[in-house]
Chains A and B, each alone.
Chain A
């Protein structure tokens, strides 16, 4: 077994699947609606900024941005509902144990805290890179930050979109809070995604300028060995490695990923620049 895997490991054309099609589609829907919401929401969040009026006009004027923002918001909430529905369905199908705990789970576990500490030590040159498994601590943070964000921003957004309905059973002060939370959480989400998440996933020197795994779903086997040795060992140990092998990603899909990724990263960085201009002036 060992000799066999080592043989294929040195072969460039061996790829393993990291993200299933359904996850990639969910991610694509998520970042499309996220970019749409950011573009249409930013002028309103920083309505006092010098660029706000121009930006809103470029997108068709406030009346249009307001409508688009609601449409993107509903689309994102449907995507969120679909994802939550899928989790519930999988739990119902007894996939609970591996989903809720263990190396294939996105649930934060003590191991993540230790690995985070080790990673900092590695940054400082005081230790090896931690023995990461399928999901690293920063990937889990990204997942749950978005999960929490969609819950908070989605709920407050619905309140702001339908104030008359919500005021039937909620006090008036809730809307002031909803606007505050909606804006601040959105600011947090935007700047986090456009700087930290982009750096972790794409812009850091090892990945620069981008990693198309979220489009192709596949990584070369050597990358699995390098970056997620614990997962690799686990697959080997459990005899599942061969089952994870997939053909190389379609060249076309990789190109689409690079094209869309370039647009998304550029838009994101421009919006971070606009945010900085607004906050600093």
Chain B
């Protein structure tokens, strides 16, 4: 629809509406379904108002440019109740049923977590544009903003990315790579979004790796051989991608050194006791001060391909651990690699020498401070008394020792 019909519409509008809308026009007869132009006659007049004084014009002007307007749909194709209504029609219209045309999509939506939300929440109303149009709410680059209009803070464990735009996928990749970058719908789906607890959801714990693997197929292949993947495959609970990689706050590789240290927190969610013994070591202490040049979990255990110690292919297996230590400590041998990086001073079975050495040190410290604590506690008041006595006497000689000295000298 271009200029000509619009000009006609404006002309008609002038003819019909100029006299005054206050004086209601004579009751129109029930005509055959009104055309779009008929509707726009009133609905594009900037001065036309409803009975309650609100403008009639609204955004109907954008309809012509919308995908539905461009496709030649008439107002009554959606507002079916107006096809037979008397004009001017009442204020309450029947709810538009998108399923009339979009039945497949509506079916998916009806089973989704958003079933209570209407189509218009994401797609708009009269101004719906095709996703291929960069101005569309559902255009690839606009999806995060559209979702964010409700999901101000992405759900999930606290502290995992304040805004989805802080995350690497949406914050950086999208700006750089456009269409090929992941946005909300890439992982979550669009019309058929399911709660993560639903086994069919791509966000279900068992499905996450496959979802991420659609882009990161090489990583998924490596991870599939890990102990974590094997445990999940056998129905047990273990870490998948999202357990270590902060879901919406995923960082770029330039943050790698910082995250390598921070990720020990993620490991400790499940491996709490190992994380505690790690923090007792020099590696753990230095890394908790933010030092990046010390070994963290992944330096010894690997990341995606973590395997149990008993597996010869593991980085910490008896066969491989010397090579693992040598990554940072060139020239080391078996003795060095026999170091127990998770030694537990409370575990007499595993580390007997450390257990008794810790007890000895505690006794040494306790004994020393108990003795000298008492020594000081008794000396302090006595010393205070002596000082006062000496000041009171104003004598150069101290009274108690003065007597002894006099006797002996």
Contact = CB atoms under 8 A, between A and B. Distances in A.
Contact of B357 (A125, A131, A181): A181
Given A171-B338, A188-B368, A205-B387, A131 B333 contact: no
B335 A204 contact: no
A124 to B, nearest CB: 7
Contact of A168 (B290, B330, B335, B378): B335
Contact of A125 (B362, B375, B382): B382
Interface residues of B, number: 57
A66 B291 CA distance: 10
Given A171-B338, A225-B405, A176 B369 contact: no
B272 to A, nearest CB: 14
Contacts, number: 153
Contact of A233 (B288, B331, B409): B409
A104 B368 CA distance: 26
Nearest to B364: A188
B357 A164 contact: no
A48 B357 contact: no
A124 B386 CA distance: 13
Contacts of B286: 44, 47, 62, 66
A246 B333 CA distance: 60
B234 interface: no
A179 B282 contact: yes
Contacts of A185: 361
A187 interface: yes
A236 interface: yes
Contact of A191 (B331, B369, B375): B369
A167 B333 contact: yes
A164 B354 CA distance: 21
A35 interface: no
B379 interface: yes
A233 B408 contact: yes
A4 interface: no
Nearest to B408: A233
Contacts of A56: 289-290
Contacts of A129: 400-401
B333 A184 contact: no
A188 B133 CA distance: 71
A120 interface: yes
Contact of B382 (A48, A122, A196): A122
A44 B289 contact: yes
B365 interface: yes
B85 interface: no
Interface string A163-201: 110011111110111011100110110011001100110
B329 interface: yes
Contacts of B358: 180
B353 to A, nearest CB: 6
Contacts of A139: none
B5 interface: no
Contacts of B291: 61-63, 66
B397 A225 contact: yes
A123 B382 contact: yes
Interface in B352-402: 353-354, 357-358, 361-362, 364-365, 368-369, 372, 375-376, 378-380, 382-384, 386-387, 396-398, 400-401
A226 interface: yes
Contacts of A173: 338-340, 343, 351, 353-354
Contact of B336 (A10, A124, A172, A187): A172
Nearest to A45: B285
Contacts of A192: 368-369, 372
B293 interface: yes
Interface in B1-48: none
Given A48-B279, A164-B332, A225-B397, A62 B290 contact: yes
A278 interface: no
A53 B261 CA distance: 14
A44 B290 CA distance: 11
Contacts of B364: 184, 188
B408 A229 contact: yes
A156 B382 CA distance: 40
A180 B361 contact: yes
A128 B386 CA distance: 12
Contacts of A125: 382
A188 B378 CA distance: 21
B349 interface: no
Interface string A111-154: 00000000110111100110100000010000000000000000
Interface string A37-53: 00000011101100011
A44 B357 CA distance: 20
A172 B401 contact: no
A160 interface: yes
A124 B383 CA distance: 11
Contact of B379 (A123, A163, A176, A222): A123
Contact of A199 (B331, B380, B405): B380
B147 interface: no
Contacts of B386: 205-206
Contacts of A47: 279, 284-286, 288-289
A14 B368 CA distance: 38
A243 interface: no
A160 B332 CA distance: 14
Interface string B267-310: 00000000000011110111011110100000000000000000
By Cβ-Cβ distance, the 3 closest A-B pairs, closest first, are A172-B339, A172-B338, A167-B336
Interface of B: 279-282, 284-286, 288-291, 293, 329-333, 335-340, 343, 345, 351, 353-354, 357-358, 361-362, 364-365, 368-369, 372, 375-376, 378-380, 382-384, 386-387, 396-398, 400-401, 403-405, 408-409
6 contacts: A53-B288, A163-B329, A163-B332, A179-B280, A188-B364, A226-B401
Given A124-B378, A171-B338, A222-B396, 18 more contacts: A47-B279, A47-B286, A52-B288, A52-B289, A61-B290, A62-B286, A120-B375, A123-B382, A163-B332, A167-B333, A167-B339, A172-B340, A181-B361, A204-B380, A205-B387, A222-B397, A229-B401, A229-B404
